[in-house]
Every structure is written in structure tokens, then in C-alpha cells.
Chains A and B, each alone.
Chain A
Amino acid sequence: MVNFMLLAPEITVVATGLIILLIGVFMSPRTKNVLGYLASLGVLAALVLTIQSFGTVALMFYDTVSIDGLSQFFKLVFLAVALIVSVASIKYNENSDHTEEFYTLVLFATFGMMVVASANDLILLFCAFELASLATFALAGFEKQNAKSLEGAMKYFVIGAVSSALMLFGISFVYGATGTTSIPAIAENAAFLAQSPIGIVAVVLLIAGFGFKMALVPFHMWAPDTYQGSPSVVSSLLAAGSKKMGFVAAFRVFILALPALQVDWQFAFAILAVVTMTFGNVVAVSQTSVKRMLAYSSLAQAGYIAMAFVVMTPMALTGGIFYTLAHAFMKGGAFIATATVVWMITTQRTGNLDVPDHLDSFRGLGKTMPLAALSMTVFVFALAGIPQTAGFMAKLVLFSSAIEAGMAWLAVIAVLNSALSLFYYARLVRYMYFLPPEGKKIGMPFPYAASLLIAVAGVLIMGFWPEPFLQWAMDAAQVLI
């Protein structure tokens, strides 16, 4: 008999989504604010259930679902992002008529990501990948009166559909050469795949499919437009959550299913990681839209995380997995801080209304919205890797693992990139604190403040007291070795 309690977090998320959808249609727009609190509570409950289940190891449903350290850690990442996003969205969806659709889509997307983290079978992995993708396509175009939102959603959808097809094509080659879709069974039957050219084709197709979600250069074309055009709370979900889904899928498929082809994908990831981090950082320097800048910086961060595939020591995998959680808090929080500024610009009707997230909107934010400015400072410094933040710990583990494994060249490129990134992060801080404000001091809406505080707490706790998180990341890395 299957122990359904192991799936309690997933069931909680889905049940909350369905309940919100059902009661939402019977409510008037003014009372729909309750739905946001309900969604946040559901995600929080799922988060607690996930943390309680750490250390459990089980295989379910004819070995298609695997509950292990890796899956539980990534569920923690996705639920943390979902919590930040759903709390902040209480304000974003205020007086909206479509609150229930928004939260249901967020929760279903989170559910899809959680199933990807647990997937032990390529078909289940693909279905869950699609569930999360379809929900986020709709979320990206949620502001249907806003042409930029629609443009971003359209690009995301078209490129997403093509990359899903490539991924499925890759899966079909793997299935054809091994005769199974179960991840452990593929690793056992990979002898033919490893020696025939089909193996290379499959690896290339799978990297293209996952690389789209991870937004690695050259599969990143959609990312800046979509992150900029989507509502900021949705960009937060995309950059902090959905991107990690690509990583956990790649961890499972490449490291667990295709170790026989390690030489090939390791080489590909080495090139992708270096190109991605350099491209992201160099292009981010010249951006004037903060959301676009964060989008390119999130490309760069994906490049750092991809180093885990290149170094492939237990320490590197620990660092990469730890980095995903750190990045979830830093990037998720940074987009929420941008959402706060966009809200300020659109309600005050001052500044650049066409590009509300323009760098100029951040002028004197330290005076007008001290909490938003302070938390944004924490996030960007963490992204740059200033000590005593989550970003520093993550980079420390990851970069030193590269040096230990004798890949000093990779560590040098990554450190140089980090130094470059400090330039555009510091410029944002300069705008917030050293330039005069344009308006008066404004009260911070409670949901945004609460969401920012959760993210700041995450970044600082992971910086000052990283041991439990590193331990969890190490347990997750154990699964892969």
C-alpha cells in the first residue's frame, strides 16, 4: 500500500489550488483578498510538511516517484518561492476580478515543479514539466491589457513549446536506445546509448530542452523580455522557481540516468556555464530597466549553478544545490522589491510610466521607501556575493570546489564575473541611497513588506547560519553520487 502521507505537501498544494478556484468564483472582487491569505497558508503548510519529511527515502507508484534528499530539498526551494510570491501577490491582486485564477495557476505551477523534483521516470518528468510550463505561460501574460506582458508571454510560449518538443525528442532517443523510461533503469541499460551516435544526439536535445528552463545562453532569448514584461510577482516565480525546475530535471536526467555519457554533457556544460555567466554579466551592465538587469543577472547566476555539472565532485554538487536555494531567496526577493517600486510608480503617477521599473524610479528609494531599499540592497549584495549573505556562502562552496577539483580556470572566470557583477549591483544601490528622491515618503503595503522580510530573513539566515542548509544540500548531493 502506498503511503500517501509522503505526498502530503503536493496534496496540500493541489487541494489549496482547487479550493481557491472553487470558492473564488462565488466571491465578489472586494472579498477575494482572502484567497491570497488562504494560498499563503496552504503553501506554508506544505513547506512545514516538506521540512518534516527531510530524511525520508521512498519509491512510490511503481518506482516513478522518488522521495529522497534531492527531491525534498528542491521542494523546499519551490515552496519558499511560492510563499514569497503568494504573500506579495495579495497586494498585486487587490480588487482584481481574477484573483482565483492567479493563485490557482501559481499553485499548479508549484505543484508541477514539485513533481519534477520527485520524478524518477522520464514520462512523469515531462508531464510535470509541461504542467508547470503551461501554468507559467498563462501567468506571464496575466495582464492582458498590457502589450509588454503579452509580448513576453508569447515569446515564452513559442520558445517553450519548441524546447518541450526538443526535450521529448531527446527522451524518445533515450527510450529507443535503452528500452525504458525509468531513470535508474536507463543508467543500467546505457551501454548501447554510450557507444552509438544516438547518445550524443539525445544529450544535445535534452540540454536544449532543459537549457530553455534554466535560461542558459544560447537558449536564453525569451528570458529578458519575459522577465521584464510579466508582472513582477510572476517574474519572481519564473526566475526564482521555474528556473530551478530545469536544474533539478537536469540533475536527475544527466547525473542519475546518463552517467555513461558524462564526458559529453560535462564538456557541453563547461562551455555553456562559461558563456552564460560572462554573457549575462556583460549585458546586464548596460541595462536601464531593473527587471531586465535582474533577468541578465539571473542568467549569470544560472551559469554559476551550471558549474556543478562541470566539476561534479560531491562538494560542487552541494554548492550548486545550496546555490539554488540561496538564489531563490535573493532573486525572488529582488523581483518583489521591484514589484513594490512598480506599484509606487503606477499609483503615484510620477516618473516613467512606460518603463515603471526604470533605474530612475529607484532614485532616493532609501528616503521614500526605506524598507524596500534596504531589502533590495541586501538582495543585490547577496547576488554579488558579499560575505555574511546566502550568496557568499553559495559562491564560496561552489568556487572552492572548482579549485579543489583542479579546475582553477573555471573558478577564476567565475570570480572575475562576480567582480564585474558588483558594478551594476552597486550602481543600483547608488541610485537608491545617494541620489535625491522625487517624491515623499510612502507607506509600504503590508503584503509586500511581509514578503520582502521573508526573503531577507532567508538570505541572512543562510548567510549567518548556513550549517543546516549545507547539511540538507549535502544530503541532496548524496543522492546524485
Chain B
Amino acid sequence: MSEIIDSYIPVAIFLVVALVMPPMTMFMVKQLSPRSRAAGKYTTYESGSVPTGTARIQFNVEYYLYAIAFVLFDVEVLFLYPWVTVYKGHGITSIAIVEMFIFVFILLFGYIYLWKKEALTWVK
């Protein structure tokens, strides 16, 4: 039993360090860093340009559908990379072609579905 407890000593050290580090860094930053209270500091961060208008505007929900469809197909392209690396030299060329066609064919169903449900139309 004591062996198990001994093996957790590194974990305990980690825990102590993890608990001490953040307050210590925050304390040091507070001591060392210069402070300015200019008006520009309290405006919305817009990567350097001056913000215009209010932040509380409504986004078109179409945007999310677009984004989700994009991410879906984007991730599915990722599956083509491992396929490419094993395509040649393993004697599975014909099986690999057929399997990838089935995969792309099923994706096509999704694409036609999105299209017919007007998820790709910007303004209905």
C-alpha cells in the first residue's frame, strides 16, 4: 500500500506547484508591470481599428448553417489524407478506389440534402 502512496508523491509535488504558481505570477505581474488609464484602453478590442456601432446586432442564422456544412465537408476531406498514404504499394488499389467512391457517394447524399433543404441559399 505504501508503494502506491509513494508513487503519488510526484503528483503531490505537481499539485502544490500548480496551486502556488498562478497566484505568484499574478502577484509579480502586479508589482512589475506599468499601468495606464487612458480612455482607449476601455474600448472594444477590434484588432487595432476603431469600433463602430453597437455590439448587440443580430446575425443571420444562415451563417451557422453555412459554417456547419463547411466544417462537415472540411473534416471529411481530412479522411482522404490517410487514404492517399496507403493507396499505393499495399496491393489494395481496387478496394481502396471502391471504398472511397462509397464514402464520397454517401457524402453526396448529404450535399443533395443540404441543397434541397435550401441550407445553401443565402437569403430565402
Alpha-carbon distance A25/B4, docked complex (angstroms)? 61
Please provide the chain B residues from 70 to 124 with a CB less than 8 Å away from any CB of chain A in the complex: 106, 109, 112-113, 116-117
Residue of A nearest to B116 (CB): A25
Q: How many residues of A contact B (CB 8 A)?
A: 6
Contact of B116 among A18, A26, A197 (CB under 8 A): A26
Please provide the chain A residues from 16 to 31 with a CB less than 8 Å away from any CB of chain B in the complex: 18, 21-22, 25-26
Is chain A's interface secondary structure helix, strand, loop, or mixed overall?
helix
Alpha-carbon distance A197/B106, docked complex (angstroms)? 44
Alpha-carbon distance A432/B29, docked complex (angstroms)? 74
Chain B residues within an 8 Å CB radius of A22: 109, 112-113
Please provide the chain A residues from 195 to 216 with a CB less than 8 Å away from any CB of chain B in the complex: 197
Q: How far is the CB of A240 from chain B (nearest CB, A)?
A: 28
Chain B residues within an 8 Å CB radius of A197: 4
Instruction: Tally inter-chain residue pairs, CB-CB below 8 A.
Output: 13
Q: How far is the CB of B2 from chain A (nearest CB, A)?
A: 14
Q: How far is the CB of B99 from chain A (nearest CB, A)?
A: 11
Alpha-carbon distance A21/B109, docked complex (angstroms)? 8
Residue of A nearest to B108 (CB): A22
Chain A residues within an 8 Å CB radius of B117: 25
Alpha-carbon distance A25/B116, docked complex (angstroms)? 6
Question: Chain A, 378-406, contact with B by CB distance < 8 Å: what is the 0/1 string?
Answer: 00000000000000000000000000000
Alpha-carbon distance A60/B77, docked complex (angstroms)? 27
Chain B residues within an 8 Å CB radius of A18: 106, 109
Residue of A nearest to B4 (CB): A197
Chain B residues within an 8 Å CB radius of A26: 116
Alpha-carbon distance A18/B112, docked complex (angstroms)? 11
Chain A residues within an 8 Å CB radius of B4: 197
Residue of B nearest to A22 (CB): B109
Question: Chain A, 19-46, contact with B by CB distance < 8 Å: what is the 0/1 string?
Answer: 0011001100000000000000000000
Residue of A nearest to B115 (CB): A25
Alpha-carbon distance A22/B112, docked complex (angstroms)? 7
Q: How far is the CB of A99 from chain B (nearest CB, A)?
A: 13
Q: How far is the CB of A173 from chain B (nearest CB, A)?
A: 16
Residue of A nearest to B117 (CB): A25
Residue among A21, A25, A26, A197 with most chain B CB within 10 A? A25
Please provide the chain B residues from 1 to 34 with a CB less than 8 Å away from any CB of chain A in the complex: 4
Alpha-carbon distance A18/B117, docked complex (angstroms)? 15
Chain A residues within an 8 Å CB radius of B112: 22, 25
Chain B residues within an 8 Å CB radius of A25: 112-113, 116-117
Q: How far is the CB of A319 from chain B (nearest CB, A)?
A: 40
Residue of A nearest to B106 (CB): A18
Residue of B nearest to A19 (CB): B109
Q: How far is the CB of A29 from chain B (nearest CB, A)?
A: 14
Alpha-carbon distance A22/B109, docked complex (angstroms)? 6
Alpha-carbon distance A18/B110, docked complex (angstroms)? 9
Q: How far is the CB of A178 from chain B (nearest CB, A)?
A: 20
Q: How far is the CB of A135 from chain B (nearest CB, A)?
A: 15
Residue of B nearest to A25 (CB): B116
Alpha-carbon distance A26/B117, docked complex (angstroms)? 9
Chain B residues within an 8 Å CB radius of A21: 109, 113
Q: How far is the CB of B115 from chain A (nearest CB, A)?
A: 8
Alpha-carbon distance A331/B113, docked complex (angstroms)? 34
Residue among A21, A26, A197 with most chain B CB within 10 A? A21
Residue of A nearest to B105 (CB): A18
Q: How far is the CB of B20 from chain A (nearest CB, A)?
A: 29
Alpha-carbon distance A21/B111, docked complex (angstroms)? 11
Alpha-carbon distance A26/B109, docked complex (angstroms)? 13
Chain A residues within an 8 Å CB radius of B109: 18, 21-22
Alpha-carbon distance A233/B113, docked complex (angstroms)? 25
Alpha-carbon distance A26/B116, docked complex (angstroms)? 7
Q: How far is the CB of B74 from chain A (nearest CB, A)?
A: 19
Chain A residues within an 8 Å CB radius of B106: 18
Q: How far is the CB of A21 from chain B (nearest CB, A)?
A: 6
Alpha-carbon distance A407/B51, docked complex (angstroms)? 74
Q: How far is the CB of A142 from chain B (nearest CB, A)?
A: 16
Residue of B nearest to A26 (CB): B116
Residue of B nearest to A197 (CB): B4
Alpha-carbon distance A197/B8, docked complex (angstroms)? 14
List 13 A-B pairs, Cβ < 8 Å. A18-B106, A18-B109, A21-B109, A21-B113, A22-B109, A22-B112, A22-B113, A25-B112, A25-B113, A25-B116, A25-B117, A26-B116, A197-B4
Interface residues of B (CB under 8 A from A): 4, 106, 109, 112-113, 116-117
| Further 11 A-B residue pairs, CB within 8 A, beyond A25-B113, A25-B116 | A18-B106, A18-B109, A21-B109, A21-B113, A22-B109, A22-B112, A22-B113, A25-B112, A25-B117, A26-B116, A197-B4
3 smallest CB-CB distances across A and B, nearest first, come from A25-B116, A18-B109, A22-B109
